[in-house]
Amino acid sequence: MLLHIPDVLTSDEVAGMRKQMDGAEWTDGRETVGPQGARVKRNLQLPQASPVRTALGDLVVAALGRHPLYHAAVLPLRTLSPRFNRYEGGGEYGFHIDGAVMQVDGDAHVRSDVSCTLFLSDPDEYDGGELIVSDLYGEHEVKLAAGDAVVYPSSSLHRVTPVTRGARIASFFWVQSLVRDDSARRLLLEMDTAIRKLTADGADQGSILQLTGVYHNLLRRWAET
C-alpha cells in the first residue's frame, strides 16, 4: 500500500529543522549501505552519531505520534530512528529494495515492513528527485510538499531520480508493523476509515459497535508483538 500522509510537520517545524541542518556536517550516503547499494547510491546523509540527526529524529517521531492516519495505516510496533538525506548536483539512488532486517542498538533488530519518506523540501526548490515506487500496477512517481510523507511496503523496488537543480532534503526510516502483511494492513485501514466516517455521519451506534468489534478481532488475529 502506497499512501500519502499529509501535514506530518507544520511549515514552522520544517523551517526549524532545515535551519538546524544548514549548519550540520553531511557525509557520503554510501557509508550506510552494503556493496550492492553503494553502486547505485549517490547522496549525502547526516551521520548516525550526529546530535543534530538524533534531535531531529526525535521531532519526526513525535510528529508521527500525533498523526492518526499514519497510525491507522502503518500500525507501528518498532521504528528505526529517522535518518536524513540530501540529493543535489545530480545525486540519485538507483533501483533497490530495502534490507529486510536492520540493527537498532546492540542485538536489537527491526524487521522493515513499511518504508517512509518525509519530504523537507518543497517541489519548487529542486528539479528531479522524484521517488519512484514500482509494484504490480506499474511505477508510481512521488514528489510531495515539505512536511508531507509517503509510506509504502519495504519490499517494493524503488529509486530516487537525479536532482538536477537545487537540493532535495528528506527524512527516511523503516517501521516494523504490528501487522506484517501489507494486504491485511490495507483492509484494516479501509475498515478504520469506514468506521470514522460512519461515526461522523451519525450512523446507527449498534452497527458501528459491531463493525468496530470486527476491526479489533481482525487486528487481534493478525497482530504480532
pLDDT score for 105 = 67
pLDDT score for 62 = 96
Q: Count Cα neighbours of 130 within 13 Å in the Cβ-side half-sphere.
A: 8
Write out the residue limits of the CATH 4.10.860.20 domain(s) in the chain.
Answer: 182-222
CATH of domain 3-177: 2.60.120.620
Write out the residue limits of the CATH 2.60.120.620 domain(s) in the chain.
Answer: 3-177
182-222: which CATH architecture? Irregular (4.10)
pLDDT score for 106 = 66
pLDDT (tens digit per residue) in 159-204: 999 999 999 999 999 999 999 999 999 999 999 999 999 999 999 9
Task: Kindly report the number of other CB atoms within 10 A of residue 83's CB atom.
Answer: 21
Which segments in the chain show pLDDT lower than 50? none
Supply the mean pLDDT for the chain. 95
Distance CA 143, CA 131 (A): 6
pLDDT score for 136 = 86
Q: Count Cα neighbours of 13 within 13 Å in the Cβ-side half-sphere.
A: 20
